């Protein structure tokens, strides 16, 4: 299959890409663009380690598994990886801080995916219930933590946002 | 004092991890790097009749295609027995065995070349039933001409034929569990000037890798430098060599760096699993529940190559007694070679299997006698000073009663929980019943039976900044945090760097067996103490003070308790440095009269609360309450992380995780078919501790990583039994076991009490005649099929 050429905007930088027709966004990010924040856990959409946020022009951002999406499909969209998540001055975001404070990180291979998904959750629902947290994060696997600290981190970040706005 | 021992210090590698900037083994790259891939056998047993690599070599962009003939050194490797070929040359013994390794300019080219490799096989019959393998002709006569038993252990204590009023027996089955760390195997090898090689790899045990790789390459070990690359979880599954040697061979053959990263499927095929096994147990007790005698027999399927099978079997057999006093017993077991996937280390190392079986027995005993399950456990709880069935005196804290009381007193969860089945629930079910179950376990800590358990650390201090160097592999557990805490507490360091582990320092052993805080933590502690004493001696010399009056409090050097100077200012521009070694006291083989088999033990009790949809067979674990013997709390947040993480892996084994092997082939080598718990499946965890300091350890710390898993498996199973009334003698408990009521019930026999013969020695006797077998196997009933 011949390669296709397209432009991809990742974390605010637009690059020309030449890739296989069905080459996944994850492979293009990691192997062609050297963007290694999204991780490979399964390459089959079952673990969420590769989660990135994609904004189709005129629509809301969506978190999806970069391993499942052919890169060419998101040409023209804005792809945000974990590298785009931080506080206004480049410091850690509230979600990232909460993950560290609550002990939600062990080996950390799942962390970029969880932070990405949890950030999207809190951006759209600043006061999630336990069920809503589970609903937003069940596509992300973690083998180290048993999830308890991850739930605690998301709840702590949500509480912080509530305090900041009240 | 901030950041010292006892505080919830944050991980030093945490900021890079939450930013996605931490470099894992799979992220490694270099100029001119090649990609290595592995061609594997599709058959569990076959003779290789032809390997033709012509087309692969001719593929554009391919730089090397290697077969068994290209291994310059020892063609065999292995952790305990060198029985595994680096690349199979004549015979393959499991499906997934590496046959050819090749390197090409990129992954797509390498995969295309791999498809062009021609390997012809003459398929041979595969022995996949461990029961058959026990007596089958040798499956691997070259390495193991005596037969297929990796190790057989057998011993008695007291009078094994003593009887109480009731005897309960059943056969239990434990499925094969995959460590399923989330980052598949990865590493990069780079040729070094002078003919050596640098291997950066995600591993648990750098020096074992170095020895095994060097042997295969025909190089002295110092020509193979192993450096830890970022590890995405391990759980035992990275203790054996997988891609290590292949990457190094390819790098040396091409003169270029070669990176290898397994796919998830290759990860399932390439690393060692938890041993599946069958355990027969017979408990005899008095009317008040006092255990009179226990007889047990274990068969573990070790798969195609030995790995740690000869070691794991001893854990399973000796800890069949559980955390209970057993005056009379007869124990036996084998790990055996088959053509199934190789099994080796996984968190718990043989003990979850034993724990699942002995705890089911304790509940069956309680039920037969009409006693409360906790009462029976308390009545038999081991205490400090007791002698275990395997002859070792428990001379350290043995808080079995305390951990049981610790969970018993916690309030039960109330109110409705989510419907069983989580996101996989596809239908409305019927009756949901709640069940509560308990389990208590003993787990040996550190290496055993004469395998030296040691570590070495170098610590330097300059202007208040400490640097810690140790070969202890950080795999996610948080040793880097603990090392930093130690340096802050002992040295008063204001900042600490823990450098990347490598083989330039002496071995720290494996990050396994719950051992690294004890071994490497203590080595770091000792090195810090020597550095502190040297610093204080220097301060004393400079100020003409008596060094005995000097101490460090917080970050301050004190003289006779009064602040003198800050540690950071105590010796400006001068580096104080020390290297210290730590080894636990020696251990001895089972049956030795010289000393105990094990360094120490950890105890844990859990109470599981589950909701079971009895029509659909679906289970939701509502809560697990845990009380664990932890010595001391080094870092509360990291400790909780070990407890919660271990519990969820244990519930995974209890309810959903099984590597399904049919005729030697794994049918579910992927996360679509191999289910690990998600955030929806994970229970609420309530965690409490017994802190009785471990003698001989700084601050009384002890290993904590494995007990939570060992206990969760039987606790969850007990709760599901309580909810359903079913015997459920096999894990994982599958929906059909519940919905169709599969599995054999324990056999309860009322017996005529027979006290132990007074002449029976209380000490362990080893190596009974292997034909002197107890009990009967009831594999059919045990599988529930
Ligand atoms: S790597 Fe994309 S979901 Fe696992
Ligand atoms: S922290 Fe290791 S997989 Fe989540």
A85 lines ligand 1 (CB under 6 A): no
A159 lines ligand 2 (CB under 6 A): no
A67 lines ligand 1 (CB under 6 A): yes
Residue B526 has pLDDT above 60, yes or no: yes
Does any domain span residue A39?
Answer: yes
* Beta carbons of B3 and B484 less than 8 angstroms apart: yes
Strand A3-10 relative to strand A78-80: parallel, antiparallel, unpaired? parallel
Does any domain span residue A42?
Answer: yes
Shared domain check, A99 and A74: no
**Mean per-residue pLDDT, B482-499:** 98
Cα B271 to chain centroid, rounded: 13
| CA of B741 relative to ligand 1 center, distance in Å | 36
Q: Mind giving me the DSSP string for A96-164?
A: HHHHHHHT--SS-TTHHHHHHHHHHHHHH-SS--HHHHHHHHTT---SSSTTHHHHHHHHHHHHHHHHH
Q: Which of A84, A111, A133 marks a domain boundary? A: A84
Looking at residue B420, its pLDDT comes to: 87
Does any domain span residue A145?
Answer: yes
**Mean per-residue pLDDT, B71-77:** 98
Nearest to B22 among A40, A108, A146 (CB): A108
Q: Which residue of A has its CA nearest to B263?
A: A42
Does any domain span residue A89?
Answer: no
| CA of A72 relative to ligand 2 center, distance in Å | 30
**B331, B273, B279, B280: which is closest to B302 by C-alpha?**
B273
Looking at residue B427, its pLDDT comes to: 65
Does any domain span residue A53?
Answer: yes
Does any domain span residue A148?
Answer: yes
**B398, B381, B378, B501: which is closest to B444 by C-alpha?**
B398
Shared domain check, A100 and A32: no
- Structural domain including A146 reads 94-165
Shared domain check, A78 and A24: yes
Within the 51-110 window of chain A, which residues sit less than 8 Å (CB to CB) from chain B?
Answer: 81-83, 85-86, 92, 96, 99-103, 105-110
The order of strands in the sheet holding B118-123 is B91-92, B46-52, B118-123
Q: Which of A84, A106, A135 marks a domain boundary? A: A84
Shared domain check, A140 and A116: yes
Residue B233 has pLDDT above 70, yes or no: yes
Encode pLDDT of B554-563 as tens digits: 999 999 999 9
**Mean per-residue pLDDT, B474-495:** 98
Looking at residue B1, its pLDDT comes to: 52
Looking at residue B773, its pLDDT comes to: 37
Report the C-alpha gap between B652 and B631 in whole angstroms. 27
Looking at residue B782, its pLDDT comes to: 29
Q: What's the N-to-C CA distance of chain A in angstroms?
A: 56
**B466, B422, B443: which is closest to B12 by C-alpha?**
B466
Residues in A touching B477 (Cβ below 8 Å): 106
Q: Flag if B476 and A99 touch (Cβ within 8 Å).
A: no
Shared domain check, A35 and A79: yes
Residues in A touching B481 (Cβ below 8 Å): none
CB neighbourhood size of A2 (10 A): 7
The dihedrals phi and psi of B271, each to the nearest 5 degrees, come to -105, 175
Counting ligands in written order, the one closest to the CA of B649 is 2
Shared domain check, A71 and A120: no
* Buried residues in B554-593 as b, exposed as e (16+ CB within 10 A): bbbbbbeeeebeebbebbeeeebebbbebebeebbebbbe
Q: Flag if B19 and A92 touch (Cβ within 8 Å).
A: yes
> Which distant-in-sequence residues (6+ apart) come within 8 Å of B334 by Cβ?
B134, B149, B150, B151, B152, B153, B298, B299, B300, B313
A38 lines ligand 1 (CB under 6 A): no
Residue A51, CA distances (Å) to A25, A115, A148 in order: 10, 9, 20
Encode pLDDT of B388-415 as tens digits: 999 999 999 999 999 999 999 999 998 7
Shared domain check, A131 and A58: no
Q: Could you tell me if A130 lies within 8 Å of chain B, comparing CB atoms?
A: no
Encode pLDDT of B200-221 as tens digits: 999 999 999 999 999 999 999 9
The CATH number covering residue A149 comes to 1.10.150.120
**A138, A164, A125: which is closest to A45 by C-alpha?**
A138
Q: Quick one: pLDDT band at residue B429, thresholds 50, 70, 90? A: low
- Of A92-106, B419-433, B490-504, B706-720, the poorest mean pLDDT is in B419-433
**Mean per-residue pLDDT, B601-621:** 96
Mutant choice from A134, A143, A157 vs B, greatest count of B C-beta within 10 A: A143
Residue B776 has pLDDT above 90, yes or no: no
Residue B239, CA distances (Å) to B51, B52, B80, B510, B726 in order: 30, 32, 12, 7, 37
Q: Flag if A144 and B18 touch (Cβ within 8 Å).
A: no
Alpha helices in B218-350 (DSSP H): 244-254, 264-270, 309-318
Does any domain span residue A28?
Answer: yes
Burial class (CB in 10 A: 0-12, 13-18, 19+), B757: exposed
Shared domain check, A53 and A29: yes
Shared domain check, A114 and A55: no
Count of domains observed in chain A: 2
Distance from CA of A29 to the nearest CA of B (A): 12
A156 lines ligand 1 (CB under 6 A): no
Domains of chain B with CATH codes: 25-125+182-233+238-270 (3.90.1170.50), 154-177+273-414+431-448+590-772 (3.30.365.10), 454-583 (3.30.365.10)
The mean predicted confidence, pLDDT, of chain B is 95
Residue B426 has pLDDT above 70, yes or no: no
Residues in B touching A114 (Cβ below 8 Å): none
Shared domain check, A54 and A23: yes
The CATH number covering residue A21 comes to 3.10.20.30
A108 lines ligand 2 (CB under 6 A): yes
The dihedrals phi and psi of B538, each to the nearest 5 degrees, come to -65, -45
The greatest distance separating any two alpha carbons of chain B, rounded to the nearest whole angstrom, comes to: 82
Residue B778 has pLDDT above 80, yes or no: no
A139 lines ligand 1 (CB under 6 A): no
Encode pLDDT of A88-141 as tens digits: 999 999 999 999 999 999 999 999 999 999 999 999 999 999 999 999 999 999
Q: Which of A84, A111, A128 marks a domain boundary? A: A84
Residue B767 has pLDDT above 90, yes or no: no
Q: Could you tell me if A42 lies within 8 Å of chain B, comparing CB atoms?
A: yes
Alpha helices in B386-503 (DSSP H): 400-408, 479-491
Shared domain check, A27 and A7: yes
Shared domain check, A78 and A114: no
Does any domain span residue A26?
Answer: yes
């Amino acid at each position: 299959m011949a390669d296709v050429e397209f432009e991809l905007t990742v974390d605010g930088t637009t690059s020309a890409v030449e890739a296989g027709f069905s080459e996944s966004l994850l492979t293009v990010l990691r192997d062609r663009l050297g963007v290694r924040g999204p991780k490979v856990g399964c390459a089959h959409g079952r673990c969420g380690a590769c989660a990135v946020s994609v904004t189709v022009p005129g629509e809301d951002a969506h978190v999806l598994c970069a391993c499942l999406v052919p890169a060419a499909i998101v040409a023209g969209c804005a792809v945000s990886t974990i590298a785009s998540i931080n506080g206004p001055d480049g410091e850690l975001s509230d979600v990232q801080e909460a993950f560290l404070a609550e002990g939600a990180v062990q080996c950390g291979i799942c962390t970029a995916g969880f932070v990405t998904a949890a950030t999207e959750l809190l951006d759209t629902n600043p006061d999630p219930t336990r069920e809503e947290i589970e609903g937003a994060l069940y596509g992300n696997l973690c083998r180290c933590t048993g999830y308890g600290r991850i739930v605690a981190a998301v709840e702590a970040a949500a509480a912080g946002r509530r305090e900041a706005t009240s | 004092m901030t950041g010292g021992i006892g505080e919830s210090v944050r991980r030093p590698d945490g900021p890079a991890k939450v930013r996605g900037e931490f470099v894992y083994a799979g992220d490694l790259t270099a100029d001119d790097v090649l990609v290595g891939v592995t061609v594997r056998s599709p058959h569990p047993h076959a003779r290789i009749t032809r390997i033709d690599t012509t087309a692969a070599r001719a593929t554009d962009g391919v730089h090397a295609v290697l077969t068994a003939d290209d291994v310059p050194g020892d063609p065999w490797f292995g952790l305990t027995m060198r029985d595994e070929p680096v690349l199979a040359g004549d015979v393959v013994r499991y499906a997934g065995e590496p046959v050819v390794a090749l390197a090409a300019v990129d992954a797509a080219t390498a995969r295309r070349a791999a498809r062009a490799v021609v390997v012809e096989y003459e398929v041979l019959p595969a022995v996949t039933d461990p029961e058959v393998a026990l007596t089958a002709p040798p499956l691997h006569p070259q390495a193991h001409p005596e037969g297929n038993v990796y190790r057989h252990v057998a011993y008695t204590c007291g009078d094994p034929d003593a009887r109480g009023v009731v005897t309960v027996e059943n056969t239990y089955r434990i499925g094969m569990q995959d460590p399923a760390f989330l980052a598949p195997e990865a590493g990069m090898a780079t040729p070094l000037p002078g003919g050596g090689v640098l291997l950066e790899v995600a591993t648990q045990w750098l020096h074992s890798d170095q020895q095994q790789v060097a042997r295969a390459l025909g190089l002295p070990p110092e020509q193979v430098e192993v450096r830890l690359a970022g590890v995405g979880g391990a759980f035992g599954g990275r203790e054996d060599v997988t891609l290590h040697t292949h990457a190094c061979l390819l790098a040396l053959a091409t003169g270029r760096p070669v990176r290898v990263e397994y796919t998830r499927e290759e990860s399932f095929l390439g690393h060692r699993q938890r041993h599946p096994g069958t355990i027969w147990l017979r408990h005899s007790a008095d009317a008040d529940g006092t255990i009179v005698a226990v007889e047990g027999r274990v068969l573990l399927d070790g798969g195609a190559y030995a790995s740690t099978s000869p070691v794991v079997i001893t854990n399973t057999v000796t800890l069949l007694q559980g955390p209970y006093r057993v005056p009379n017993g007869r124990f036996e077991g084998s790990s055996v070679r088959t053509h199934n996937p190789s099994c080796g280390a996984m968190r718990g190392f043989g003990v979850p299997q034993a724990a699942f079986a002995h705890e089911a027995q304790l509940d069956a005993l309680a039920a037969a006698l009409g006693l409360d399950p906790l009462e029976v456990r308390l009545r038999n709880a081991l205490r400090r000073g007791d002698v275990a069935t395997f002859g070792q005196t428990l001379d350290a804290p043995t808080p079995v009663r305390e951990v049981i009381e610790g969970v018993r007193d916690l309030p039960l969860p109330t109110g409705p929980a989510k419907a069983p089945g989580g996101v996989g629930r596809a239908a409305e079910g019927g009756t949901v019943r709640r069940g509560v179950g308990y389990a208590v376990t003993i787990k040996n800590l550190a290496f055993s039976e004469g395998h030296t358990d040691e570590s070495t650390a170098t610590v330097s201090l300059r202007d208040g900044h400490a640097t810690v160097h140790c070969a202890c592999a950080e795999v996610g557990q948080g040793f880097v945090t603990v090392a930093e805490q130690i340096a802050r507490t002992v040295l008063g360091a204001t900042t600490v760097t823990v450098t990347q582990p490598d083989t330039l320092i002496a071995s720290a052993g494996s990050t396994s067996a719950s051992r690294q805080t004890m071994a490497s933590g203590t080595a770091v502690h000792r090195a810090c103490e020597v550095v502190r004493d040297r610093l204080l001696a220097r301060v004393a010399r400079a100020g003409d003070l008596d060094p005995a009056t000097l101490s460090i409090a917080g970050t301050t050097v004190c003289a006779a308790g009064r602040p003198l100077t800050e540690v950071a200012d105590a010796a400006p521009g001068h580096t104080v440095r020390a290297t210290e070694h730590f080894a636990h006291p020696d251990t001895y083989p089972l049956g030795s009269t010289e000393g105990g088999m094990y360094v120490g033990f950890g105890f844990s009790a859990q109470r599981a609360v589950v909701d079971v949809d009895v029509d659909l067979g679906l289970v939701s674990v509502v809560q697990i309450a845990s009380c664990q013997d932890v010595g001391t709390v080094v870092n509360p947040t990291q400790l909780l992380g070990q407890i919660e993480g271990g519990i969820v892996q244990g519930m995974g084994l209890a309810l959903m995780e099984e590597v399904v092997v049919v005729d030697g082939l794994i049918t579910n080598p992927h996360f679509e078919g191999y289910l690990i718990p998600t955030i929806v499946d994970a229970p609420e965890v309530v965690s409490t501790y017994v802190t009785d300091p471990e003698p001989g350890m700084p601050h009384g710390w002890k290993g904590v990583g494995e007990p939570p898993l060992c206990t969760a498996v039987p606790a969850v199973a007990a709760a599901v039994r309580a909810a359903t009334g079913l015997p459920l003698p096999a894990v994982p408990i599958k929906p059909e076991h519940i919905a169709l009521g599969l599995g054999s019930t324990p056999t309860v026999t009322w017996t005529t009490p027979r006290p132990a013969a007074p002449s029976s020695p209380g000490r362990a006797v080893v190596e009974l005649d292997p034909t002197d077998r107890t009990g009967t196997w009831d594999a059919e009933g045990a599988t529930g099929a």
